[in-house]
Every structure is written in structure tokens, then in C-alpha cells.
Structure 1
């Protein structure tokens, strides 16, 4: 040490000496590391996160992205965290772009986050947060996504959120919010949900809010407005504090009302007389003219007649029925074209459909879907396509003829179609047992959904692979929109694909964006809707659907980008955390579940050429299922497995995402 001190006395060696001296002491943690440890102390009493075990904060659990040693993306989901968020520590992480604590048990108020100036995405859903929404979120001008759904949040929606210039998604459903809906009018707003609160008043008719339908506002019984087809009572109610009007004023009002009534009755009587006269003239015309007039009258108010029967699309508690009617074009009534060899003998006609009562089942990117109940009691599903101009009528007819010839036990049969200049309808068999989405997530897609037993996963996987393989055997055909809401359950709860082969009917110039969930089912190369779908893209969607079955989680994020090579570890951790104690342990079936998991991972390869074809996938699924049945000496319908899963299912209802 004496020689070292002697060297340091000379200026020429001063800098190297300082380096050696400071290097001899252990390095302190980075500022973000200290902030994370302070945050952990408030939310992680069970040490689930195990932060601080390594010196590199960028390798800690949940830290998904760093820049120059600073944390940019913190995703800590489904770790059973409790306690309250330490706002002081959290605000020190000022380089955060993405912050997610969803699906934990955090409580208390959401802290002020004014220090997170770079934050773009905030996910705090499915916790136990209470109190109000922080008003200073509007100061985070880069904020695009806010998801605070599934909590105990009360108070009003801050009007300051209207000032967020880049707001893309706002999810506030399943809370205890009161007051009215602010007039959101950001052009960037694509996803919006305030359902299941206690909101009141009229929904503003801004251009942004008019894009959303009943599913975004449902279960707020005192809300009204155009979006939910519920007119508002505009008559002013008397103020409780107003003095009682004098008696002479009341008499004056009564005389005035009588005068108005006399005028109204006189005008009304004259109007009725005119109408009767006009009708009498029309009745004297030819019978064909009378029929044409009646058909045109029936055809008016397309959406009004169909949508009025379903005030609450999520609860399916419809007590009113409306007529299923549509624009039949300028040439009068068109033809209902039946497709399959025996479909011409179906016991209904276009007039039967016109008279049928209608119930809205769902709305999606391709159009709206209705349950049509005819006077005879016969029920069908009618899909009204959103884009009636694409492709041209001849091309539409040719393509539908091809799709309509497909008949398979794992496909929902397309029976007939109708087209006019401004209208295109598809008629399918009605499946009352609901969708695969309802089976996995419940009728409302609750956060408490659990992954299915692996035997159920295998059965569904084989059904879907069989149906897709059949479609792919027809050159040029794809499903194009595979997701759990487009899989219906048949009479024996077999999985049946619907909405297949419809992607050519999209508007090629449309800039409309799909919901986050629908987007992440799609292969990366097909997320631009202007690009044609491929069979390799169907394989990718199939892989995402398998991961949904294995985890019970809808893909609200790009699973490949989010977890990469860690997808198997993520799936196993989710299953381990959500499996009931009475279920068969995952470890005892490690080999079977791993086989299905490996198939899913192969399907979601980013490179299309690396994905297997559906025929090969079907062979692999059947091999795994055969081995599973032999080893367990049981069937898919054994107690505690498939049959128990479907017994609690609602027998009707679709869910549109």
C-alpha cells in the first residue's frame, strides 16, 4: 500500500489512482433498482418477485425492456401481489413506457403518477383498487392506453382525460363509477368500455363515442343515448325547491292545454282523413303494386328493427322482439339463394325471414349477427355483412357458392345467401350452446376464467384442426378470422368453425382497426387488413387459440413479442397458479401437456415458412390424444373433465370482441 500511495502523489498517476480506489469498493445499485426494491416492499410481502437477487436490474422478473440501464417496460401480472402501490418509488421510474400490474390483489388508491412523463400504456385491471381515478393522468401527454377495469374504483370519470391527445384505449368497465360520460372526441380513440358501472345521463354524440355500441356502455341502467338505442327523457323535471305556482296560473295552464288538445285533434283528424284517402287510392291500383308497396314499407329501418330487441347484448335478457328487415334494393324483393345440395328443401323462404323476430347476437369486424326466429318456430343465424360493395356482385356470388358447398361436422354450415345493391346477408344454422369464448372465459369473459383441463384442450384442439384441415384442402380457401368467438359448440359440444372464408368481403381501402384481441390472433404478416390471408396465417391463429385454451387468457398482447422463447414457462406458471387444488396436478401429466404446448409454440413461429401445415398438425394432435387416452384409460366425457366443463355453460349467446 506504501508504493501505491507514493505513486498517487504524482499528478500523472492521479486519474488511474482514482479509478483503482473507487473500483476497490462495491458498486451501489442503480436508481431504478433502489426504486423497484422500495416498491417491492409495499406490494410483495410473500417475495414472489425475488427482486434484488442479481445486480443487473434489466434481468429482474417483470422488467421487459431497458435503455442505458433504465427500466422502460415493467410488466408484473398475475403474481398475487397485495398491499398498496408506493407512488413515491413508482414516480422515480421516469423512463417507463409500459406499466402493468394487472391480475393481482393490489388495493388502496391508485397513486398520482405525474412523474412518469414518458408513460404510454397503463394496465391496472383486475385488482382491488378503490378511490377515484387520478386526475393528473391527463398530464401524461404520451399516454395512449389506460386499463383500470375490474376494480372498486368510485367517483366520476375525470373530464381532464378528454385532453389526452393520443388516447387509444380506455377501459373502465366493472367498477363503481358514477356521474356522466365525458365528451371524448379524440380521433385516436379506438377501444372504449365503461360498462357495469353506475353512470347516468346522456352519452355525448361525439364522433369518437358514436363509433361504440351497447357493449361499451351496458349495465349502466341510467345511461341513455343513441349508442345504446335508449332515448333520453328531455322533459325538464320540476326542482324540489321551486315554490308551488299560484292557483290562477294553474287554471291558465289548464285552459291552454285544452286549446292545444283541440288544435292537435283537429289537425290529427284531418291528417288521418288524408291518409285514408291516399290508402284508398292505392288500394284501387293493381295487386302487384300493393305487394311492392308493402314490401318496401317492411324493408325500412334495418338496424332499428333488429337492434331494438336487444337492449343489453351481454346479458341476453331480451324481452322484446323486432322484425328482421333490410334494404332489398330498388328492384323490389330479391331472391334467397340456397347453397347445399339439400338446402333447397329448407322449410323457409325470404318472406319468412322478413317476418321473423330478430335478436342481436354480436357485432364484429365483418358485420352484425342476428338470431332470427320465424313464425313457424324455425331458428337460423343471419349475418349482415358490413361492406355490401366489396367485391362486386358477381364475384360475391361465385365465392359464396364455393364456401357454401363446404360441409363438415366441425364447420357451421352456410345454408343460403341474399344480396342486393346495398345488402348482403348470410344464413347459417343456429347453434344454441354458445361459443368457445364462453366456455373458456364465461358468458362475460370474466377475469376469473381458468384454463381448461388438458383432456378438454386436446379434444377442442383436434376438432379445430380437423375443421381447418378440411377448409385448407380446398385450394385458395382460408378461414381468415380464427378466434374463440368464431368457434361455436355443436349439439354434442363439438367445436365448429364459423365466419370462415369471409375475408374477401372486406373493403380493401378500409383503415378501420380491429380490437386488440382480434389483432393479436392474426399472424404478424397479416395484421394489415389490406394484405390477403394465407393458410400459414390460419396456423398462427390456431397456435394462439391453443395458448388461450392452455392459459384461460385472451391475447390482449402479442404473445410472441411479449414472452418469446419463454412462452412454455409462462403457460406452465399460469396453469400452476390457476389450477384448483382438487384438479389433477400438472406435474402428473407433464408429458401430455408439454406435447400440446410444443405444438402451439411451433404454430406461432414468426416466420410463416416455419409453421407446419394443418394436415401435419392434425396428425400430431391425434397422436398425443391417442397416447393420453391409452395412458389415462378414460374418455373425454369422464366426470371432472369435459362434461363437467360444459354443464355450467349458458346455452345461448355469442360474445363479440
Structure 2
């Protein structure tokens, strides 16, 4: 149980509030006070440097306060991986009634999940990877705007509240890795797109509602007593048995004994019955004889066929072809993800010395044998290798990147110690806007990287869809700003960790469960960069397409390690231009048409506005600052590019100003997501 704040702390709190500028609204002051009380209850390691005398800058300087409303109310609170511990009391959060997003992911919080029904505006709740116990509160059903509920990796018990079936906007429900029991409620929400209740103790038949029928084994695995069509497991039915004749059964007393004397009618009936039985026996013998003959014929044919197959098999020492190509074919369009191609299983050969190593301090989640038996789909082929979706027999889904062999870098790329060192360094990175490396594998001629699977696809797919030309639609201004902030936040964290991305492009930005943007394939290119062909080729290969996003100084083949935070900033600027226009960047865009970039961007958006009529008249003003940031980032002169911290600050300021300007336009606020979320 968390200790009550000491009297001295409360007095200090009251005194500090007197120092807060009077320009702040009373509601904003209440938010600051609530957050400070929250800190005193769960921040025993002082990870949150919040001070009430800085409450005037609550929305810009307090760690974890990601967004505020125009009147200074906190709308997005993200306190992840901060070693917070203790119990969340309902009164600690009840006054933060303007919260849209609340996240305590990856901490050490314990006790029961509090009643959050006072947070009437909450849309997304992330309490995963903690030590919460007890039951899931049914009061969550009172949050009618709730879309995303992530309570996975806790110690929750009891049943899934049936009241959650009344949350009409529910989009994602993640309850895996808990101790839940009972049956799965009959969810019927048409908005439900993501569900995971695996690794619990649920039982009974999975309801055959339209909403639940769209999910497969991966959503329900490791619940031994579950059954249903979704997991191809037949439910046991009660068999209908005749009444027992045991004298111990209550109804047996009502069965009359047969009379001692039988009538002529009964004797005739018995003769007919004997004749029927005799005929049935004779027919049965004949039927058995026919079945025996048929079985003899079938066995003879089967032996003959098997003998023919044995003769047709290759010799024992003949080479076998693998199902995963060692040299991927050239893509028709740059790094556009390929249409998934189903494979029955991974079939590459592994060395006996190979080992699957898990990152981030976690134990073995699955074995290499389980991974090799997984069914596989090709998701795409990029600069450093091919990417596959792997569905294991347990239903667990991961993304596997198979690194291609690198010509000309044998000493570095083939060195096992160098690979392990780099993989461990990358595997330590954890951030909400970065796809974590979960495990890696290496053998003599095989290197694999295992990541989380992101079913929502990439930013490239969001912008361009299935258009083979690479010409997509410019995204709405709210989506542009949201994606820009997510990518900049992840990139800044990489740079703070001493890493560079070196391969930033839309296909390496994946969309999470709440359509947050997450960076992947970071820090691989400097070590595993294949030789780059000329970017002027008519059919660019995956590696040459990356050149369009790379800074000019990185294209010099004589440079030993040209990738720096500044080169990442250049790539970020090119990505912003693609966000703003929906057009894949071309090689001469910066070098030859630098001064014309603003004119080009505005003309593209104006053309799209004319065709669709969707953009508001003030959209250009909101995106003007973002365009200026992009132009500063793509400066050919390295010295003139801003630093990543400055870029992130400018993007956040631009988004905050845009949201304030549109505070009276509720329709714009509802579209502040890059994906097509349910309304």
C-alpha cells in the first residue's frame, strides 16, 4: 500500500501553487497538482523531475506530458519505462478528466487497476508490462470514447468483463500474458480490429460473432481449455444417453417387469423380430465381405504408388533447394512492400553452432526450432535483406529479417563478434516510437533479426497504398504533424543513445496498434551495407532507392563511415516532403531544385485540394512551418542543418500551434490519427 504524502509535502504543494502565474486556468493548476501528487505516490526513484514552480510550462517541459488542450489541460500522459512503482489510487487520476491517452507501460506498478470512470474523454489506455493484479474493472465500459485497451503482461485474474462488449468504439483489446479465467464475452463491435487474449487460462467456446470470427489462433493461443472454429478445435458436446436401468437411479422404479404369460400376438411379434434380426446379420456379413475386398484393393494400390514415389525420389546426396531465395529479385518499384507470398515454413539450413539470442534482458520466449517450423510470408525486400512474417505453431507472430551477404565487407559483416556486438547494442534500445529488436541468430552463413510484428503496415503503404507508381495522396495536415512528431521523437532517442538510423525512409516506419509511428531497421546499414548501384538506373534496386533519402555526403563510396546524426536529419527532411506531397522524392529534388521546393510542395497540395476538396483553407498555414523545417533539414550544407533536438522542438511547437488554431474545429481534432480509425 502506498504511503500517504507527508504533511510537509502538502504544505509545500500549497505554497508552490501560490507561485504559479495567475494566467493559468484553475483547471490547469488542478492538473499540475494532480500530477505532482501522482509523482509523490509512485515515483520513488525520482525519475520525474517535475516541480510545481514550473507549472506554467507544464505542457512543454514536464516529462511525459505529451499534449495539452488549448486551455492548458493535459490530454496525453505517457509515463513509460520510468521504474515507477507502487499502487495507482483512483483519486490520483480522477481530476485529469481531459486525458485522451494514458500510458504507464513498462513500469513496476502493482495492486488493482483503479476505477477510471472519471476519465470520460479517455481513448487509449496502456497499462501493459507491469505487475497489476486482481480483476479487470468493469467500470472501463463507462468510458464511451475508449478505443484502445492494452493490459497485457500483468498478473490480472478473474474473467474478462462482459460489460466491455458495450464499448462501441473498441478498436484494440490486448490482454495476453495474464492469468484470466472464464469464457470470452461475445464481442460484437464492428470497430474491433485487434484482439489478443493468448497465454491465459480461458475456457469454453469462442463465440461465433462477426467481430470474433475475423481472428485466428494467434489471438487465442495457449489457453488449453478454449475451443471453437477460430482455433480449429471442436468443442466437446454432451452426449444423449438412454435412461439408466440401474436400481440406484430414481426413475428405474417406474420400469414395469414383463408379464409371466405372453399372448399369441406377442409370440407372432417375437417371430417377426427374430426374422428381422437374422436378415440383418446376413446382410452385415455380406457387407463385411465387400468391405474386406475393397480394403485389399486399396492397400495394393497404395503399396504400388509408394514404390513408384521411392523410385522417383532424388539421391540422398543430391542438393536440396530452399524455399527462401538467397538472392531476391529486383523490385518493380523501389522499396514498396511486396504482396505477401505464403510459404509453408522456413527451410534454410542452420549450423549446429547457431544460437537464438534474446535481447533486452528477457528469457527465451521460443526456440530456434519453433521459429524454423513457422509458416512464412514474404513482406518485402530492402537494403539489407528480406523480411518475413513468421507464424509459429503456437500462434505467436514475429517479423524475421534475413540479412543478405555483403560483398566487399567480409572482414566486418562476416565477423561473428562484430555482429553480436552490434545486435546487442541495437537490442538494448527501447522506446514507444522504436520497433524493438527481440532476438538475433547467427551461424556460418546465416544472420537473422527477430522483431515484433506490426500488422498495420508501414508509412509507405499508408501514403501510397497499392499504387505502383509511388504517387500517393498527401495526408491530412493533422496526420502529417502527428507522424512528424513520432518519427522525430524516435530519431532523437536513437541519437541520445549514441546510434544513428542510417536508413530512414517511409518503408522503415511502421504503424503501431494505435497508429503511432515506430522506426525499424535502424543502425543496420553502416555494418551491413551492400554495394550501391548508380541511382540513375531505370529500374532502381532496393539499395539504390535508399539513395534518394540519403544525404549527399553519404553517397561517396570512398567515405569509411559517412552516416551521422546530421545525415539522419537530411533523411527526415526528405520524409517530410513525401508526407506533404504523397510523392516519392527524386534525385534532383534538392541538388537542382532546392529553391523551388516550397513552390512544388504547395502546387501538389493545391492540386490535391482541388480534386478532393478535403483540405481546409487554413491547412497551408498549419503546414507552412513543417515545410520550413523540411527545407532546413535537406540543406546540402551539413553545417546549416539543425540538430535533432531543435528539429523535435520545432515540430512539437508547430503541432501545438496548429491544434490551438483549430480548437474550434472539432472535425479536425477527431482526425488526429494517421490511420482510418473507427469514429
Which has more radius of gyration? Answer: 2
What TM-score results when the alignment is normalised by the length of structure 1? 0.49
Question: How does the TM-score come out when normalised to structure 2?
Answer: 0.48
